[in-house]
Amino acid sequence: MPVMAADHVRGDARIRRGGACDRPPGRPVVHCSGGHGARRGRQRARSATTPTAPAGRGRRAVIKAERKAGGPVLGDGFGEALKECWAAGGKAGHSYATVERDDGFLFTTDVAEYFDELDEHERHEQWVIKRAGGRVLDVGCGAGRHAIALAQRGADVVGVDTSPGAVYVSRQRGVRVLRGTVEEQGDDIGRFDCILLLGYNLGLLESCQKAPQLLSGLARKANVGTRLFGNSLNPAMTSHPDHLRYREENRRQGRLPGTSRMRIRHKNLATDWFDYLYLTPEELGELVVGTGWEITEIETEGQSYAVELTLTQAGRRSPTSV
């Protein structure tokens, strides 16, 4: 999933303790990597603000105005960008995806990063790959970069993604992928030793209401001791004025500050609007209470962090499952 640009911050930033993350029993171990959290190698992204979708304007009104203006077309923008890049050999400079937030903020990225080798991944994601193993569920697997890296280390990986284009590309690269949301997968998918929400896919938790449902659903696909790894930008560390204004508007609307309503665009295609959640570790600690998951370790890298959660209570199978 393309992620909004992070500000450059000192590499010695530490997770603030207290409050949310102290609520589950035990204290997570916190590590910190040096550097700014910037991706290694080629620079791929740029950001800008435009008046495309004024803040406060209703979603239906925006869609109506766009249709009147002749575009964009509703479709699998992210998947089509991946397919175009795959056809070009996964090389940089051939295909781009743009994240559009509902206040008009745009962030464009070269999707070649979704074909990175392990040594090109951000350090906190490399930390996850080196710790994960066994039978792994990769939620929102995209082009399969994490699944492939784990398979090369001997893991048995199953990917899940809602994007038809992402599913196509991952399968072309040899990844076993199921199309749909993780909630749509029945109990016949089995249980897993590790679950991934990488590519900043902790954002799939969406909201205070959705997060416990998703986490409880993942617990039903896990065993006691299963580890869940995810990563996020820490929204409390931003100094970008557009992000600060957006966070304040979220507070006024009663949402978590790191909530983003966005869609992904590629050429004339745009996905439907969806909610994505950037969380502080403290906020994540509050959301996992009562789900069976506990935060056990955190790895920070600039404004980004990866987290390990461990299942301490068995998830119950769905009563509708066969």
Residue 249 in contact with residue 105, Cβ under 8 Å? no
- 192 Cβ neighbours under 8 A, 6+ residues apart: 134, 135, 136, 137, 158, 221, 222, 223, 226
Contact 308, 320 (CB under 8 A): no
AA identity, residue 249: E
**Confidence at residue 41, expressed as pLDDT on a 0 to 100 scale:** 38
Are 139 and 197 in contact by the 8 Å Cβ rule? The answer is yes
Kindly list the structural domains of the chain, giving each domain's residue range(s) and its CATH number in brackets, ordered by start. 19-311 (3.40.50.150)
pLDDT of 17 reads 31
Distances (CA, A) of 47 to 98, 138, 189: 9, 28, 39
For the chain, 322 residues long, give each residue's pLDDT as a single digit of tens. 666 655 432 222 223 333 333 333 344 555 555 443 434 333 333 333 333 333 444 445 555 555 566 679 999 999 999 999 999 999 999 999 999 999 999 999 999 999 999 999 999 999 999 999 999 999 999 999 999 999 999 999 999 999 999 999 999 999 999 999 999 998 889 999 999 999 999 999 999 999 999 999 999 999 999 999 999 999 999 999 999 999 999 999 999 999 999 999 999 999 999 999 999 999 999 999 999 999 999 999 999 999 999 999 875 544 433 2
The pTM for the full model equals: 0.82
Which pLDDT belongs to residue 187?
86
Strand-pair partners of 98: 108, 265
User: What is d(CA 10, CA 301) in angstroms, rounded to the nearest whole number?
Assistant: 9
Query: What's the confidence (pLDDT) of residue 61?
Result: 56
Cα(296)–Cα(183) distance, integer angstroms: 24
Sign of CA dihedral 3, 160, 130, 119: negative
Residues 159, 175 contacting (CB under 8 angstroms): yes
